[in-house]
Chains A and B, each alone.
Chain A
Amino acid sequence: MLVTFYLNNTQVSYDVRPDEYLSHTLRSHGIKSVKVGCNESTCGSCTLLVDDKPVMSCSVLTASIEGKHVTTVEGIQEEAAKIAYHFAEEGADQCGFCNAGYALVVYALKREIKNPTEEQIIDYIVGNLCRCSGLQSQLNAIKAYLKEE
């Protein structure tokens, strides 16, 4: 079936199976920044934004996003670079598998909640697991990024 949506503000139409998940569709069209870790709606590494909201793309059927706006890390390059800088500064960056998902969720957090408390930050990122680090460094990096400007 043909599904038309906006990928980083560019209209695309892909021929997909009715049971195909968005992470698969994007990766098979070369968007390899979308990482699939657990493929079981748990780890959050496949996180991207649909209509500005972070969702696990391994668990969203492509057929369901007709007409919607999908943002991957390629669509937020400038902000992603700032986030990456703070992650590197805090040593939150190890193998990098979780990074794209983190960048998108942190970007969404900044847009959705003004001046979040630590509890709100943790609640927002708890669905993004990192196998390499202890999450404290991520938290420090996110706080530093949110303080910018």
Chain B
Amino acid sequence: MKVNEYYRASSLEDAYQKLLASPKNAIIAGGLWMKKMGQSYETLIDLSNLGLDKIEDKKDEVVVGALATQRDFENSKVVSFLYAGAPAFAVREVMGVNFRNIATIGGSIMGRYPFSDVITGLLPYDVKLEFYPAQKMSLEEYLNYKGRLNAILVAVHIKKIEGKGYFKKVKTTALDFPIVNIAVAKVAGEYRVVVGARPMVAAKAYKAMEYLNNGAKDFTKAAELAVEELSFMDNKDASKEYRVDLAKVYVRRGLEEVSK
């Protein structure tokens, strides 16, 4: 990674103006993905003086600052109570502690990575992204947003609703990227099914959800509907067929788990 200037923003407006100043300027969070990509930047904009690393317990939501690290997230008491700990567990599946102390929740979402455990782990829930300049959109809307959003992610709002979640990352060794990841939840009596790392960014399996939420109870059939609806591909880690087989099994197991 080549950088000409490292800039500590004094306010969100200051950071935003710097971001607009050149297409070669970018926000830096943990900087791990940016290092891996190895691009050249004119200016990196550091937001760490803006207090965006807090995790707050509000009446009906948990508000996670974009700069909270993955480790802050998994260690947070309020987060660990959310959906039987499933979102925290998903984040704990990323690399080791010395990595998760650097990687941020904001950076993990903004990149819309096709392998992301963080995104898959959050997508079943009612999650809204708060940007500067003022704008809110759901996590799902952001994943489907065409093009690059030239805005600053400020916080991630996770609704607190009674419910239970399940997360499974299939990986070859402890530090690997996922071959496939699955998040299933039952939130206020409604089933949610998400499959990611297909290897494409996480998506909801709407047909399976509709089938279950209309009262059907056959989880094997629901898992089949999920893999029929979502597309899967080959890459160097696994074949499309292997991913489909894994997803079928873990969607079913997830449904069994959250329905208990």
Contact = CB atoms under 8 A, between A and B. Distances in A.
Contacts of B175: 42, 126-127, 129
Contact of A127 (B1, B3, B96): B96
Contact of B1 (A19, A41, A66): A19
Contacts of B174: 126
B6 A54 contact: no
Contacts of A73: none
A53 interface: yes
A63 interface: yes
B71 interface: yes
A33 interface: no
Contacts of A42: 95, 175
A16 B201 CA distance: 37
Given A19-B3, A105-B97, A126-B96, A59 B44 contact: no
Contacts of A129: 175
A54 B35 CA distance: 18
B187 interface: no
A123 interface: yes
Given A40-B36, A53-B71, A61-B31, A127 B99 contact: yes
B101 A55 contact: yes
A54 B101 contact: yes
Interface in A41-64: 41-42, 44, 47, 50, 53-56, 59-61, 63-64
Nearest to B30: A59
Contacts of A55: 98, 101-102
Contacts of A60: 31, 102
A125 interface: yes
> For chain A, which range describes its interface: under 10, 10 to 19, 20 to 34, or 35 or more residues?
20 to 34
Contact of B6 (A21, A63, A125, A126): A63
A19 B98 contact: no
A105 B98 contact: yes
A127 B98 contact: yes
Contacts of B148: none
B47 to A, nearest CB: 11
Contact of B92 (A40, A66, A123): A123
Interface in A98-135: 101, 105, 123-129
A122 to B, nearest CB: 8
Contacts of A41: 32, 35-36, 95, 99, 102
B172 interface: no
A47 B98 contact: yes
A1 interface: yes
A5 B31 CA distance: 19
Contacts of A128: 96, 98
B96, B174, B175: which has the most chain A beta carbons within 10 Å?
B96
Given A125-B96, A128-B96, A59 B3 contact: no
Contacts of A53: 71, 101
B46 interface: yes
